[in-house]
A and B are shown apart, each in its own frame.
Chain A
C-alpha cells in the first residue's frame, strides 16, 4: 500500500476584508478630502495636494497589505512528485518536481531588508515558497519539508500517518 500524499497549505493571515478596507479607505478619504476641500475653497490649495499624496500612500499601504489575502501556496508531496500550487490575485501557477531529484534549500538572511528564501530545486529549476512567512516560519517549514522531500537523488519513505497541516 502506498503512503498517502502529504499536503501542506500555507497562507498569510488577514483580519481585514476587502469590503472593510474600502469602507475604511473611503471614510478616511472623506474626512481628509473634506477638510482639504474646505481649505481649498478658501484658497489654501496646498493642503489638498498633501491630502492627495497621503491618501495615495494609505491606499497603497492597504492594497499592499490586502494582497496577502489572495495568496495561498499548497505543497503536495507524493511518492514521486513535489507539486507546488500557488494562488494569487493574478491567477494560479503550478510547478511539479520529481521528488527523487528535488531538494529543499533555505538561504539565510542576506540582510534584514533582504530576508532569507525557501526554495525547492531540481535539475536547474527552482521555486520559492513561503515568501510571506517570517524567517522563523520559513525555517520551520524547511525543517518539515526536508525529511519529506529528502536530498538530491533521495526518496525517503513518506510518513504513513498524515501529519497536521
Chain B
C-alpha cells in the first residue's frame, strides 16, 4: 500500500459507480460479497421450496402431489441448490465482505477474477434449474450422481455436468482469490497467528477447495465421456468400475462437507468471545484443530460407502480415521465452552445462533460418530438417520452460522441496527422448528425408513407428519430473515463503529457502514494489536 500514509478519512469519499454497472462490473469486495449473499439467499429459498415439496409429499403415506420421478428430482436438486447455491456462495459472500476488512487489506488480491467468479454462478444455476424443463425432467439420481443410474438420465445430464463444471470454476476462482489475498494482502504486522479465526478457517477451506475441485471436475467429466464418447471409466460393461466413482466422488465430497462447516467454526469463534466479553480460549489450538480437521477430511471418504464392500482393514482404517475427527472437533467445542465459562454473557441474536450451533452441531457430530461405526452404519446406511445426521450438521451447523454471521456483521455492513425483537423471534422459530423438522428423522431412520422415497409404510406416518410440520414452520419462519435485513438496510438506529461492546478485530475499527474501500491506508500496529486480542 502507499507509503504516503495519511490519516484515513472515510466520510465522503465513497466514489463508487452507480446503477447496474456498479453490480455487473463490480470489482469491489463488498459489492461482490453482497451479490454472493443475495444470490445465496435467493437459492436458499429456491432450495427450501424444493424441500417443502418433498415434505409436503411425505406429510402422509401414499402419493399426494408429485410423481416419484419428480420427487427424486426434488431430492437431487434440493441438495445441489443448497450445497452449491446457498451454503457455499453464502460463505464466499462472507469471505468477500470480511477477509479484506479483517486483515487490513483494501480489497481482494484479484478483483476482476472475483467479479468473474461471482458472475459464473447465475449462469450455472440457470443451467441447473433449466433441467426442470427439459424432456426427462431434472436429474433424479441424487446429488452424488452415482453411475450407472446417473448415466441413464435424459437431456438433463449434460446440462447438470456443465452446471457443475461452472460451479467448480467459480469455487476455484473464489478459493484462489482468498488464498492469494490472505497470503499477500495482510497489513504490515498482521502475521498469520494474529489473523482472526474466520480468516484462518477460510484459508484452510480455500486450500481444501483447491485440493479437491480437480477431482470433482475429473469425475464428472469422466461421467460425461462415459455417456457420450464411449469411454468406460465407470461403465462395468466396458471394464469400468462404478464403485471407483463413489471413491473418487467422496474423495471430493467429504472435504466438501468441511468446506461448508469450517468457516462456520470461524464465525462461531468470532461471535462467542464477543458476547462472552472474553478472549477466545486457546486461539492457537483452534487454528491447529482446524488444520487437523482439514487434513483428516482427506482420509475418511470411504465412511460414506461402507456398504459397497471393502476389505476389513479398509473398514477399520476409515472407521478409526473418522472417529479421530472428533478429537480436534472436541477441542473446538471445549474451547468455546471454556470461552463462555465465567464470561459476562449476553444473548443477542448472533450469540443465540452461535449457541444453537454449538448444541445442535454437536448432535450432528454425535450421530456422525454413530455412523462411523461400521457395523452400525450397515444398519443406518441410506436411512433417514443419515438424512437427520447431515441436516443437523448443515442446517443448525452451517446455515445457523451464516445467519449468526449476518446478524453479527449486518450493522457494520449497512450502518443501522436491526430489529432485535424480530431477529430473536426469527431465531426461536428457527431453533424450535429445525428440531421438530429433523429430530424425528432419527427415529424414522432407526425404525428403518429409507431415504429418497416418495411413499412409505404407515408405521412411519406419525413422525413424518411431525417432521413435515417442522419443515413448513422452519421454511416460513425464514421469510423473516430477508424482511429483517431489508428493514435494516432502509432504516434503523445508527450503528456505532463497534456495535457490540465485546467485539475485537480490525473490521470494528472501520466506521459503520464500512467505507467502499476498506483500508485505504494500512491499519497501524496499535490497531492491529487491538484487533488481534483474540
Contacts and interface: CB of A to CB of B under 8 A. Distances in A.
Contacts of B25: 111-113
Nearest to A109: B17
B215 interface: yes
B522 to A, nearest CB: 6
Given A58-B210, A134-B517, A35 B251 contact: yes
Contact of B27 (A9, A31, A68, A112): A112
A58 B210 CA distance: 9
Contact of B522 (A13, A24, A28, A65): A13
B254 to A, nearest CB: 13
A20 interface: yes
B188 A15 contact: yes
Interface in A1-46: 8-16, 20-21, 24, 28, 31-32, 35-36, 39, 42-44, 46
A141 interface: yes
B172 A133 contact: no
Interface stretch (B74-82, B176-184, B327-335, B364-372): B176-184
B248 interface: yes
B3 to A, nearest CB: 6
A89 to B, nearest CB: 15
A28 B207 contact: yes
A139 interface: yes
Contacts of B520: 134, 136-137, 140
A31 B211 contact: yes
Contact of A32 (B27, B179, B214): B214
Contacts, number: 155
A137 B2 contact: yes
Contacts of A9: 3-4
A10 B186 CA distance: 17
Given A54-B213, A113-B112, A133 B2 contact: yes
Contact of A10 (B2, B107, B115, B522): B2
A24 B179 CA distance: 10
In this complex, the member of B113, B172, B180 whose beta carbon has the largest number of chain A beta carbons within 10 angstroms is B180
Given A49-B218, A164-B4, A54 B183 contact: no
In this complex, the member of A28, A111, A136, A139 whose beta carbon has the largest number of chain B beta carbons within 10 angstroms is A136
B214 A51 contact: yes
B2 A135 contact: no
Contacts of A141: 2, 4
A112 B17 contact: yes
B110 A65 contact: yes
Given A51-B214, A54-B210, A141-B4, A14 B184 contact: yes
Contact of A42 (B187, B210, B244): B244
A28 B491 CA distance: 46
A38 B407 CA distance: 44
A15 B186 contact: yes
A98 interface: no
B185 interface: yes
Nearest to A143: B6
Contact of B3 (A11, A47, A61, A64): A11
Interface in B160-205: 172-173, 176-177, 179-180, 183-188, 190
Interface in B92-126: 106-107, 109-110, 112-113, 115
Contact of B15 (A32, A109, A111, A144): A109
B233 interface: yes
Nearest to B217: A50
A135 B217 contact: no
Interface string A109-150: 101110000000000000000100111110111001000000
A35 B215 contact: yes
Given A11-B3, A61-B109, A136-B13, A47 B214 contact: yes
In this complex, the member of B179, B184, B222, B244 whose beta carbon has the largest number of chain A beta carbons within 10 angstroms is B184
Closest 4 CB pairs of A and B: A47-B218, A50-B214, A15-B186, A16-B184
Interface of B: 1-6, 13, 15, 17, 21-22, 25-28, 106-107, 109-110, 112-113, 115, 172-173, 176-177, 179-180, 183-188, 190, 207, 210-215, 217-219, 221-222, 225, 233, 244, 248, 251, 516-517, 520-522
11 contacts: A11-B3, A13-B188, A15-B186, A42-B244, A47-B217, A50-B214, A57-B172, A62-B184, A109-B17, A112-B17, A137-B520
